Amino acid sequence: MLITGAGRGLGAEGALALAQAGAEAVLLSRTWDELDQVVKRVSDAGGRARAIVCDVTKPEQVRSAFAGLDRLDILLNNAGMNIPEPFLDVSEPHLDDMIALNVRAAFLVSQAAVRKMLQDPDRRKHGGSIIHVTSQMGRVGAERRTVYCMTKHAIEGLTKAMAVELAPENIRVNAIAPTFLETPMTASFFADPEFRDWVLSRIPLGRIGRMDEVTGAIVFLASPAASLITGTSLAVDGGWTAR
C-alpha cells in the first residue's frame, strides 16, 4: 500500500487505519519529520510502515519512489491543497500550483501505481485498489473555491475513466469525497466563527466530520468487502450533497 500526502491529516490517519487492517504502508510526503512521526505511530499500533521523502509534483521523484517497491496492491492518492479566494483574485501562480498538485500529480502518481501493479504476475488473482481522495466540492460548487472545485471535479472524472479502462486487469478505482474535517489544512478556516457556522448550516447531520468516519470508508474500499465496487465516489459528507 502506498499513500501520498501521508505526513499529516487524512493521509496520516488513513495510513494508520490501513496498517491496522494489515497492510504494509509506504508513506510519501515532502517532510521527513512528519513522515517519521507517522511511521512511529503505525509501529506503536502494531503495524508496518516505511517512509519515502517525495514531492509528487516532481515526476522524477515519483518514478524513483515507485521503482523501489517490490509490489503494490493499494494506492491512496491523497496529496492535495486548497487556497480559498474569490474567483477574480485567483493568481496564475495559485492556479498553477493547485492544478499541479491536485490534478497533474494525482494523474502521474496513478500512472506509476498502475504500472507497478501490472508488473505483478498474480495481479488478476488478487487485484488492486486505487482510492482517490476528492471532496464533496468535486460534486458541487462553492464560493471562494473555484479552482479547488475544478480540480476535484477533474479527479471524480478520472476515477470513472480509470475504473472502466482498468477493470479487465482487476484493478478497482474509486474515490472518497469527504465533507469538511478537522485537519491541519482546515484549522485556520474553522478559526473564523462565521465560516464554521456556514459549514455547519450546510451539513444536515449538523456537525463537522471525524477522521475515523473517512478512514473507515477508505479501509472498506481497499478491502475485499468492496470487490464489486469500482468507478464510484463515496460521499462521506453528512448529507451536504444530498440537498
> Cα separation of 152 and 177, whole Å?
9
Nearest residue to 222 (alpha-carbon basis) of 163, 173, 158? 173
Helix (H) or strand (E) holding 128: strand 128-133
Instruction: Single out the catalytic residue among 40, 116, 125, 152.
Output: 152
For 92, the grid coordinates are 496564475
Quick check: is 160 catalytic?
no
> Cα separation of 27 and 162, whole Å?
23
Residue in the structure block whose three cell numbers are 505526513? 7
Quick check: is 58 catalytic?
no
φ/ψ (deg, to 5) at 69: -90, 140
Give the long-range contacts of residues 33-38, CB within 8 A, separation 24 or more: 34/7, 34/8, 35/6, 35/7, 37/7, 38/6, 38/7, 38/12
> Cα separation of 2 and 242, whole Å?
32
> Cα separation of 67 and 81, whole Å?
26
Instruction: Single out the catalytic residue among 40, 58, 116, 148.
Output: 148
Q: Which residues are catalytic?
A: 148, 152
